[in-house]
Amino acid sequence: MYCPKCSSPATEGQRFCRQCGTNLGAIVDAMEGRRGPVDFERLKVDLKDLGNSLRSGFEQAHKEFKKTQTHHRRQYEKQPGQAHNWGAEIAADIAQKASCVATDTKAAVVGAYQKKKRSRESRRYHLQKGILSIFSGSAVTGAYYLFLKTAAESGLLASLERIVLQHNPDITGLLPVVQMLWVFGLIPVATGLGHLINGAFFAPSDQEREALEAAERMPEQSLPWQTTNSTPQFSSPQTRVTNEFDPEVAREYSVTEEPTLPLGPREHERQAS
């Protein structure tokens, strides 16, 4: 047990707190189920101490909250370029958790649906369904047949037919139709036979179904002619850089800027003659 005022531990049978002196007798008596004489003055003092303890606890929590808020404000004031939006963070967190929950729920529902679908396609399911349908349909058919036969032999159906004919004499053939209502019980029997035939000849066995599930879980392998490596790749020709001709070097002049000497006046006269 702990003191409600200072939260210090108290040993068994301790009536007062050793740290703050709070009276723990009422709490001990309440826990042990004992009832002592009611002292209204002591009860009033205890309630006052309890109120003071609660008020001090709330004040301390409020101070801690303000201290934390001030610390965060100072921290973000040091970084004015990074504004913190608590609302956006909370909304993003809630949206992320909701998305995760929705994804998990969808995966669980799809998995359960696939499992149920696979179980309905199994041979065991069809055999069980067929046997149950045959037995239930046979029981319903037998019960209807015995009930209608007894009603016809006792004269109940004839009496009902006379009552109906008194109100509406145009109705004819009511008794034979009522006696043949047991035929509807053959519908579930036919359904059960269909399930038996499907389970015995068409539904996959457990081994085949497991093999199909394993094949579905395996990653799809593309055929050799469907791979990208086998398809021819064509690329446009590109200019190869060989660094054999540098345009910057070509612009520079050689050692002899004029490889041929210009003709002088004598050479001109000689060529003219």
Tokens 């003055």 sit at which residue?
Answer: 41
Query: Which tokens in the block code for residue 162?
Result: 């006379």
Tokens 């036979």 sit at which residue?
Answer: 193
Alpha-carbon distance of 183 to 118, in angstroms, equals: 34
Per-residue pLDDT of the chain (273 residues; tens, 9 = 90+): 678 778 777 777 677 777 787 777 777 676 665 555 556 677 777 788 878 877 877 787 778 777 777 776 776 666 554 445 555 666 676 777 777 777 777 777 766 656 655 555 677 778 888 889 999 999 999 999 999 889 888 888 888 888 888 888 888 888 888 888 889 989 999 998 988 888 888 777 666 666 766 666 665 444 455 554 545 555 555 555 555 555 555 555 555 555 555 555 665 566 665
Alpha-carbon distance of 176 to 270, in angstroms, equals: 148
Alpha-carbon distance of 35 to 29, in angstroms, equals: 7
Give the 3-state secondary structure percentages of the chain, helix then strand then coil, rounded to 5: 65, 0, 30
Domain limits, the chain:
1-80, 118-218
pLDDT at 6: 82
pLDDT at 106: 72
Could you give the count of Cα atoms lying within 13 Å of 162 in the half-sphere of its Cβ? Answer: 4
Q: Are 157 and 151 in contact (CB under 8 A)?
A: yes
Q: Are 76 and 84 in contact (CB under 8 A)?
A: yes
Q: Taking the model in full, what pTM does it have?
A: 0.36
Query: Which tokens in the block code for residue 165?
Result: 């004919």
